[in-house]
Amino acid sequence: MKQKFTCTYSWLITVLAFAICMSYAPPGSAAKPDTTYLHILKSKTAKNSFKNGLHLVLPPLKPAYISTTKVNVARPDDRLLINVEVYPNPVTDQINLKYELSRNATVTIKIMDVLGNDIITLFSQRIEPGEKNFSYALNSKLTRGFYFVRVVAGTESVIKRISVL
């Protein structure tokens, strides 16, 4: 009994594997659609096809297509940090910043040297949306030269060049 059970199912697995392999179309080949099932439906002996043998028709398997199209979720006009201005430039004793936020965000304002090293962190807080003004007295904290003011809001960043006299 056990041997008959094993033979029956091993034959069935072999037939299924063969049917799957025959219906597979390798990538890049222009395979014609499988219309075998139409011939079986039209034939008069389709009703008695199981008496003559197993007629198993599977639809062709095609490889999955992977899309490389990039989807931009954020709209280009949906910026968080808008209209960043630094004045006066050149700076002598006080630096003024004017910027606008479109929604709540953590804002960090830093001064960096030409090599990108952080010199001073002027401001770091969570801010409500709207137009904001920020002033900071330098009081000889920076030597003469060129610096960059970096304003970071959320994931957006704006860098402006200033010169200190």
Query: Do 93 and 43 belong to one domain?
Result: no
Share above pLDDT 90 across residues of the chain, in percent, rounded to a whole number: 38
133 belongs to a structural domain: yes
Query: Do 48 and 86 belong to one domain?
Result: no
Q: What is the CATH number of the domain that holds 151?
A: 2.60.40.3080
68-79 residue pLDDT tens: 666 555 555 678
Q: Is 126 helix (H, G, I), strand (E, B) or coil?
A: strand
Question: What strand order describes the sheet that includes 145-153?
Answer: 118-127, 105-112, 145-153, 156-164
Query: Do 44 and 97 belong to one domain?
Result: no
Task: Quickly state the pLDDT bin for 51 (edges 50, 70, 90).
Answer: low
Domain hosting 119: range is 81-164
pLDDT, greater one: 113 or 44: 113
Query: Do 158 and 89 belong to one domain?
Result: yes
Count the domains in the chain: 2
Query: Do 159 and 93 belong to one domain?
Result: yes
Residue 141 CA to residue 17 CA, distance in Å, equals: 78
| pLDDT at residue 16 in the model | 75
25 belongs to a structural domain: yes
125 belongs to a structural domain: yes
57 belongs to a structural domain: no
With a cut of 90, say whether residue 100 has pLDDT above it: yes
6 belongs to a structural domain: yes
Query: Do 38 and 89 belong to one domain?
Result: no
| pLDDT at residue 10 in the model | 77
Query: Do 87 and 126 belong to one domain?
Result: yes
- Among the residue ranges 7-11, 46-50, 96-100, 129-133, the one predicted with the least confidence is 46-50
With a cut of 90, say whether residue 1 has pLDDT above it: no
Closest C-alpha among 15, 2, 21, 103 to residue 53: 15
The alpha carbon of 6 is separated from its chain's Cα centroid by a whole number of angstroms, namely 50
Residue 87 CA to residue 129 CA, distance in Å, equals: 21
With a cut of 90, say whether residue 152 has pLDDT above it: yes
75 belongs to a structural domain: no
Query: In whole angstroms, how far apart are CA 15 and each of 8, 11, 37, 56?
Result: 11, 6, 17, 9
Q: Is 6 helix (H, G, I), strand (E, B) or coil?
A: helix
Query: Do 36 and 101 belong to one domain?
Result: no
Half-sphere exposure of 53 (CA within 13 A, CB side): 5
Residue 111 CA to residue 119 CA, distance in Å, equals: 6
Q: Reply yes or no: is the peptide bond before residue 129 cis, omega within 30 of 0.
A: no
Residue whose entry in the numeric block shows the structure tokens 């965000």: 105
70 belongs to a structural domain: no
Query: Do 36 and 100 belong to one domain?
Result: no
62 belongs to a structural domain: no
